A and B are shown apart, each in its own frame.
Chain A
Amino acid sequence: MKHIYWLLFLAVLASPQWAIAQDEDDEEDWSMYEELELVDDSNVKRYAKPTIVGLSPTRFLSVSWDMQMPYDMSLSAARFPASQGTGWGVDESAPISETGTVNFTGGFRFNSSIPIISKSNIVWQSGLNYMRVGYNISDIQADGNASGLASILNETGLNNLNWTNTFYVPMTEENFFIFQGLLDMSGNYGFSLQPFNTIRWSLAAVYGKRVNERKRWGLGLARTYRVGNLNYVPVVMYDVTSADRKWGTEILFPARAHGRYNFNKNSLLLFGYELEGQSYRIDEFSFGNNSFEIRRGELRPRLEFQKQIPGPFWAHFQAGYRIDWTFNADELSGSREFFRGFFGTQDFGMINSLGNAAYFNVGISFVTF
């Protein structure tokens, strides 16, 4: 009989359940948990986490209001280089044909980034976004050559609809790739939208390394409309958090770069800049199958204070200076995009300038870390 009890004891000890029946005990023998192994160790692979500690929260859903302070607008006459070969030369200083005082620029913004797949070996987030850039323009002065763009902007404003898909693909515990694809419909359209062949696409691919839980970096390439025109640019990612979790960086150069100071777990300050822009089709100037597009690009140095309000909701208050990068226009033959880059000689459809102005953005987001 003793034999049976002894064998039973051994059998229970050998079972995976051995560790189950232990009662919680302050004086528990932790060493027994060192002598464990996976029941099934096939296909076990570890992956880099998609974040590091200390980063500002990830926004699933966000609504905000963006507003620029008053500034002056100067517009040239509109020419149609693709149609008639009469555009403004790249190095040309076009005469001003139309001026106005822009009292208000901005409007409602909605952003979403919904996890479609969110596992340790792949994260796919998809989001629809909307950005309104409305205008209130007064004191419009126009000569005989003026295109009337100031009045058009005043009446219709600009809209952007965007669909963004982001894939995070870890390869090992340290190495990962990020792929992002974007589709944008931008213009002064109303509810009837605009031709689908004016949808512009952007793409980015970054290889990264998660060095530890407080640091990651990455290098990549992007096809982007961040400053209005189509560009191909290298991408540098560098996110780091200090050992005391107070200071850090959130950099995805050249799109944005911020330093970060975490006051505590519920509030933080970002300081840096963001590039913002799109290519907006102006319906009134788009003849036939051609698309006449304002290349709106802005540099926004800024401060952003983020604070948790109840639960998973955070508020942000952003203040900065909106610097005009470009507000020129191109006429695209057959609505087909082209790449001017630094050396292109394609003529502009308009050469415009905007005064710089302070701006504010306030919003509420539904977030996670």
Chain B
Amino acid sequence: MKKLILILSLSFLGTYAWAQNADDIVGVWEPGHGKARVKIDNIDGKYYGRIVWLKEPNDPETGKPKTDVNNPDASMKNVPLRGYRILKDFEYKGKGEWADGTIYDPETGNTYSSVITWKDENTLDIRGYVGVKTFGRSDTWRRLKVK
């Protein structure tokens, strides 16, 4: 019975026991605007995030699922937004920072350099920037859990 309790405890605490480990950002997060949910995964040591939920999944004008209509690459304009990978190539640099990645803004079709900073176990600071970090904007993402 003690063994069972121990295993259960470890399962529940799994997320929080690894404070600021590389995989701490793995999970589902909600950007500050609340219009989407993004799932971050570790793929071969790098971190990627894709849209898994949209508050408004269909284009109000066509009634069809939203696609990446603002992408400057014409061949991508018909790719569904749900499932779209907007965070790419982040590497963990230690001290709660994942860097060298990019973030894509489907609203404008622009891709920015990006760095992710760990605020606490339920909050990330995601900064997109042009060239150097000074020329950028930060957003707060919050962790989601099963209801």
Interface positions of A (Cβ within 8 A of B): 4, 7-8, 11-20, 22, 24, 28, 30, 33-40, 44, 46-47, 49, 53, 60, 114-115, 118-120, 123, 173, 213, 243, 245, 265-266, 312, 366-369
- By the criterion CB–CB under 8 Å, are B134 and A114 in contact? yes
User: What is the bound-complex CA distance between A29 and B131, given in angstroms?
Assistant: 38
Q: Is the CB of B72 closer than 8 A to any CB of chain A?
A: yes
Contacting residues, chain B, for A14 (C-beta < 8 A): 12, 146
Residue of B whose beta carbon sits closest to that of A113: B135
- By the criterion CB–CB under 8 Å, are A119 and B137 in contact? yes
- By the criterion CB–CB under 8 Å, are B27 and A115 in contact? no
Chain B 32-55, CB within 8 Å of chain A: the 1/0 string?
A: 111001010101000000101100
Residue of A whose beta carbon sits closest to that of B121: A39
Could you write out 16 A-B pairs with CB less than 8 Å apart?
Answer: A7-B4, A14-B146, A20-B41, A33-B28, A38-B30, A38-B145, A46-B32, A46-B34, A115-B137, A119-B138, A119-B139, A123-B137, A213-B107, A243-B61, A245-B70, A368-B110
The smallest beta-carbon distance between B110 and chain A, in angstroms, is 5
User: What is the bound-complex CA distance between A191 and B53, given in angstroms?
Assistant: 59
- By the criterion CB–CB under 8 Å, are A8 and B82 in contact? no
The smallest beta-carbon distance between A97 and chain B, in angstroms, is 50
- By the criterion CB–CB under 8 Å, are A7 and B8 in contact? yes
The smallest beta-carbon distance between B50 and chain A, in angstroms, is 7
Contacting residues, chain B, for A120 (C-beta < 8 A): 32-33, 137-140
Contacting residues, chain B, for A118 (C-beta < 8 A): 136-138
Tally of chain B residues near chain A (CB < 8 A) = 49
A18 in contact with B61 given A30-B53, A119-B138, A120-B140 (CB within 8 Å): no
Q: Is the CB of B78 closer than 8 A to any CB of chain A?
A: no
Contacting residues, chain A, for B82 (C-beta < 8 A): 30
Residue of B whose beta carbon sits closest to that of A243: B61
- By the criterion CB–CB under 8 Å, are A368 and B135 in contact? yes
A19 in contact with B144 given A30-B52, A265-B72, A265-B109 (CB within 8 Å): yes
The listed residue (B4, B72, B134) touching A4 by CB distance below 8 A is: B4
Residues from 69 to 115 in B contacting A, C-beta threshold 8 Å:
70, 72, 82-83, 107-110, 112
User: What is the bound-complex CA distance between A17 and B144, given in angstroms?
Assistant: 9
- By the criterion CB–CB under 8 Å, are B28 and A36 in contact? yes
Contacting residues, chain A, for B139 (C-beta < 8 A): 119-120
User: What is the bound-complex CA distance between A173 and B34, given in angstroms?
Assistant: 10
Q: Is the CB of B15 closer than 8 A to any CB of chain A?
A: yes
- By the criterion CB–CB under 8 Å, are A13 and B145 in contact? no
User: What is the bound-complex CA distance between A13 and B146, given in angstroms?
Assistant: 8
Contacting residues, chain B, for A37 (C-beta < 8 A): 144-147
- By the criterion CB–CB under 8 Å, are B32 and A40 in contact? no
User: What is the bound-complex CA distance between A67 and B30, given in angstroms?
Assistant: 50
- By the criterion CB–CB under 8 Å, are B146 and A36 in contact? yes
User: What is the bound-complex CA distance between A11 and B12, given in angstroms?
Assistant: 7
The smallest beta-carbon distance between B123 and chain A, in angstroms, is 8
Contacting residues, chain B, for A368 (C-beta < 8 A): 110, 112, 130, 135-136
A19 in contact with B135 given A40-B142, A44-B142 (CB within 8 Å): no
A8 in contact with B137 given A24-B50, A35-B147 (CB within 8 Å): no
- By the criterion CB–CB under 8 Å, are A20 and B26 in contact? yes
- By the criterion CB–CB under 8 Å, are B135 and A17 in contact? no
Residue of A whose beta carbon sits closest to that of B33: A46
User: What is the bound-complex CA distance between A35 and B121, given in angstroms?
Assistant: 20
Further contacts, 16 of them, CB under 8 A, given A37-B147, A39-B145:
A7-B8, A11-B11, A11-B12, A15-B11, A17-B26, A19-B52, A19-B146, A24-B41, A33-B52, A33-B53, A40-B142, A46-B32, A60-B130, A119-B140, A312-B130, A368-B110
Contacting residues, chain A, for B28 (C-beta < 8 A): 19-20, 33, 36
User: What is the bound-complex CA distance between A4 and B140, given in angstroms?
Assistant: 38
User: What is the bound-complex CA distance between A28 and B37, given in angstroms?
Assistant: 15
Contacting residues, chain B, for A24 (C-beta < 8 A): 41, 43, 50
The smallest beta-carbon distance between B30 and chain A, in angstroms, is 7
Residue of B whose beta carbon sits closest to that of A23: B41
User: What is the bound-complex CA distance between A35 and B140, given in angstroms?
Assistant: 21
